[in-house]
Amino acid sequence: MPDPDIAKPLKERFRAAYWRVLRDLDALRLQQWEQSQLTLPQLRVLFSVRRSPGITTGQLARLLGVTVSTTSGLVTKLADAGLLVRRSREGDRRQIPLELTAAGQSLAGELAEVTRPFVDDLAQELGPALEQIVAGLETLAEAAARVRER
């Protein structure tokens, strides 16, 4: 069992490092998102549909952890903006799969591509430590997924 006196300073360092990394790495992405004129919830819908074409509003609501009503409003705004289209599923009118339009795909791609050169430069800057850092990030992602599922 770890010594609580050691664990507390280490947890504080972890917390500080975690927020510093998020702030520093997200600055470029957040700036690009602001320029897109979409809200953060709308962007979450856009990227979720990009990752899961054909997802329904109900599935999307569960994925995002919001109500179907809220999700439906976000979908309507994105559809009105020409970024998202609702398809019909033969035999079941209640199930309406969502897909990005060409404009939605383009915008999502542009937003994702903005950070790629920065991340590539960052990987280069890390040099030989990259392997160890990638392993640590993978462990962090797995732990975060487990904690989120609780």
| pLDDT, tens digit, 9 for 90 and up, residues 47-96 | 999 999 999 999 999 999 999 999 999 999 999 999 999 987 676 656 78
Q: What was the pLDDT predicted at 89? A: 67
Q: Which residues of 10-27 are buried (b: 16+ CB within 10 A; e: fewer)?
A: eeeeeeeeeeeeeeeeee
Instruction: Please give the DSSP secondary-structure letter assigned to residue 3.
Output: -
Among 46, 37, 146, smallest CA distance to 105 is for 46
Domain range summary for the chain, segments of one domain joined by +: 1-35, 36-149
What pLDDT score was predicted for residue 110?
83
In this structure, CATH architecture of domain 36-149:
Orthogonal Bundle (1.10)
Angle 46-149-137 from CA coordinates, rounded to 5°: 75
- Give dist(CA 52, CA 75) in Å, integer: 14
User: What is the residue-averaged pLDDT of the chain?
Assistant: 88
Total Cβ atoms within 10 A of residue 150: 4
pLDDT reported for residue 27: 83
Q: Which position has the token pair 């992405």?
A: 29
Q: Specify the pTM.
A: 0.66
Angle at 53 between CA 52 and CA 56, to 5 degrees: 85
Cα separation of the two ends of the chain? 23
Place of tokens 């640590």: 136
Which is it for strands 98-100 and 84-86: parallel, antiparallel or unpaired? Answer: antiparallel
What percent of the chain shows pLDDT beyond 90?
A: 63
| Higher pLDDT, residue 25 or 74 | 74
Closest-CA residue to 28 (of 104, 137, 118): 118
